[in-house]
Amino acid sequence: MLKEMRNTFTKIFGTAYEPEKFFAPGRVNLIGEHTDHEGGFVFPCAINLGIYALAAKRDDKILRLYSMNFDEGIFTPFEINIDEIKNKIDIRTWVNYPLGVVNILKNHGYKLNYGADILYNGNLPGGAGLSSSAAIEVLTGKIFSELFNLNIDGVSMAKFSQEAENNFVGMNCGIMDQFAVSMGRKDHAVLLNCSTLEYSYAPLNLENYKIVITNSNVPHSLAGSEYNLRRQQCEEALADINKIKKISCLCGLNQNELDEYSYCVKNPVNLRRAHHAVSENARAIRASQALKSGDLKTFGRLMNASHVSLRDDYQVTVPELDTLASLAWEFPGVIGSRMTGGGFGGCTVSIVESEKVNDFIEKIGAGYEKLTNRKASFYCIETSDGAKKIL
């Protein structure tokens, strides 16, 4: 991949400079879904599918960007003067993610006196809920940090990238994706408390099991989906409860407390959303403990329960994701399976006995096609470190 990128770099930018190499992973969330924006726990890991970049400094203020994934057939890079980056643009919309990050860095007072030529190419399926947006954001931040010695630490990088997505791209996401992409560690999952940003790494001792991601190939469109509406419903539930009991976020409540204050929540749909956030938060904590103590069975059951809650209370699954999860639950070598990411399409994550992975792919693939007329894609992934410069 990098060799082909090197040739393309010369073709597109025609520059004499030798570019530096970077990689940012995608992420898969094992459990703790839709809890990040409610101040709860998430438990994702960075994966070995991601986005690579070749980048070279310039000695003027021009930023040139080209994606081998999105710009096929266009032979010129997108070009802009760093000082002119202010708002989202309507053409080549993928560039809004890197532009957003550059803009946020400027807003935070980083003096960007020079531009860069950046070529991106990834093997992370876009629109699959594996955080291609967070990957390109954190990757761009990392490139600027390294090329211009900005010394931005990983947690700040995650925060800046989230800010870019919230305020420049206009997607009201939580911090999980950017955090996992920036701070991930090979062979570990990250247990992150999204209200304090305290985090710890849990070794992923999956013994003779593998993480298999199944793409429903129903493209998920978070910005266009009901993601923001779900957040709003949670906010309404919190505001109702706050009239009687002061708490800063829904995940500040445990299940008993939510039951006790449930009468305050006026809209029954909002109460279901709150119920998901609170129960999922408890599951994320329990699941991370189960994994630490080697209790994979409990871990798997909690994953299954997470899917049910996302299906029935939070209502962010689609029939295709439910079909994939149900097929996986019936498969003898699976200990747990659930939708992962924002929902409304995208992927499931399953923990599958290593020896049965091929059989899983064959059987689930066939069952899925029969029931939905769609083809699924499968990725048997490894975990990875967070965004980095490749030496």
Q: How far is the CB of 318 from ligand GLA (least distance, A)?
A: 14
φ and ψ at residue 377, rounded to 5 degrees: -115, 150
Considering the rule CB under 6 A, would residue 220 count as an interface residue with ligand GLA? Answer: no
Interface mask toward ligand GLA for 293-332; x: CB under 6 A = ----------------------------------------
Amino acid identity of residue 274, one-letter, is A
Sites for ligand GLA among residues 246-285 (CB under 6 A):
none
Maximum Cα interatomic distance, the chain, rounded to a whole number of Å: 68
Q: How far apart are CA 262 and CA 391, in angstroms?
A: 54
Amino acid identity of residue 4, one-letter, is E
Sites for ligand GLA among residues 158-217 (CB under 6 A):
173-174, 176-177
Q: How far is the CB of 271 from ligand GLA (least distance, A)?
A: 20
Q: How far apart are CA 208 and CA 172, in angstroms?
A: 38
Contacts for 204 with CB less than 8 Å, ≥ 6 apart: 45, 187, 188, 189, 291, 383
Q: Give the count of beta carbons closer than 10 Å to the beta carbon of residue 328.
A: 29
Of the candidates 177, 312, 313, 322, the residue annotated as catalytic is 177
Interface mask toward ligand GLA for 27-56; x: CB under 6 A = --x---xx-xx-------------------
Q: Give the count of beta carbons closer than 10 Å to the beta carbon of residue 58.
A: 17
Considering the rule CB under 6 A, would residue 137 count as an interface residue with ligand GLA? Answer: no
Q: How far is the CB of 116 from ligand GLA (least distance, A)?
A: 26
Q: How far apart are CA 38 and CA 35, in angstroms?
A: 5
Nearer to ligand GLA, 333 or 342 (CB): 342
For residues 383 and 30, the answer to whether their CB atoms sit within 8 Å is: no
Total chain residues near ligand GLA (CB under 6 A) = 11
Q: How far is the CB of 179 from ligand GLA (least distance, A)?
A: 9
Q: How far is the CB of 346 from ligand GLA (least distance, A)?
A: 9
Nearer to ligand GLA, 142 or 230 (CB): 230
* Length in residues, the chain: 391
Q: How far apart are CA 203 and CA 205, in angstroms?
A: 6
Per-residue DSSP letters for 164-219?
HIIIII-----SHHHHHHHH--TTEEEEEETTTTEEEEEE---TTEEEEEEE----
Q: Can you name the residues that pair with 81 across neighbouring β-strands? A: 62
Active site residue 177: yes
φ and ψ at residue 213, rounded to 5 degrees: -100, 130
Considering the rule CB under 6 A, would residue 341 count as an interface residue with ligand GLA? Answer: yes
Q: How far apart are CA 92 and CA 136, in angstroms?
A: 14
Q: How far is the CB of 192 from ligand GLA (least distance, A)?
A: 11
Q: How far is the CB of 150 from ligand GLA (least distance, A)?
A: 24
Nearer to ligand GLA, 177 or 240 (CB): 177
Active-site amino acid positions: 177
- Binding residues vs ligand GLA (CB under 6 A): 29, 33-34, 36-37, 173-174, 176-177, 341-342
